[in-house]
Structure 1
């Protein structure tokens, strides 16, 4: 941000501990790290990389083809970056920031929706745990939606 001539705060707005950089904003900050780790574990990957250059190398090496696992990981990476940037902007502009849980839930919902809308995803028997994850997201959001409807009707 400094290189772009930005005159605002230079420290991370989530942890106030480090200078803001792509590495810190998306992977090193504790807030971002927990979100990235939680979401990428949902995709069936362990030991994800935690810096920008390593993520690029990891994507080139691991995310080839059209399997469910690959599609989930690509969508999760994009959604994490998007939502972490939105969180940063919310903090910067005085809007209401969201909790880690809210961001992870939103990412899961968006990824689930996009996976279900695709026709080109190849699903193998080894993808059964991932299918269960996608189905579980559906149930969680259905139950949450029903809870909101009931709460609305009771008011």
Structure 2
């Protein structure tokens, strides 16, 4: 069609914008994900896209509060990174990492509030970090 398309990642302006780059390799996305993991007091490196989805599928089973929050966090992370990409690309507006993490936390809080939760000491710490209680 004769279109000249810039394939650089709009979030970090480094690297070709692929699914793997945008959600796993991008420095900005990595900063957001690391901040999210710090809320869990969890230190793990992200794998590539397929590896991360496989890890989530294998490890996030059951109906525990932690599992529910982890699933919601992953979905919210993907949604907010994609939204940030589009806002920056089409509106030329950007948010910093903390703003994005706060948006993700708010999203999780809204989705979990109102559910009947069995809150023990571990869940209480998680709920506090995610502003659910």
Greater helix proportion = 1
| TM-score, L = length of structure 2 | 0.85
Change (3 A) 1:8 1:92: farther
Structure showing greater Rg: 1
Q: Which residue among 16, 27, 31 is the counterpart of 2:28?
A: 31
**Aligned ranges for residues 2-151 of structure 1 at < 5 Å?**
8-119=5-116, 121-134=117-130, 137=131
Segments of structure 1 that go 5 or more residues without pairing to the other structure are 1-5, 140-155
- Single out whichever of 38-47 and 72-81 deviates more from structure 2: 38-47
Stretches of structure 2 lacking an aligned partner (at least 5 in a row) = none
1:3 alignment partner in structure 2: none
CA RMSD across the alignment = 2.2
Which stretch shows the higher mean deviation, 75-84 or 34-43? 34-43
Contact 2:24 2:30 in 1 (8 A): yes
CA separation in 1, counterparts of 2:10 and 2:120?
42
SS in 1 for 2:91: coil
Query: When the two structures are superposed, what TM-score results if normalisation uses the length of structure 1?
Result: 0.74
Q: Aligned pair count?
A: 131
Once the two structures are TM-superposed, the CA of residue 112 in structure 1 deviates from its matched residue by: 1.2
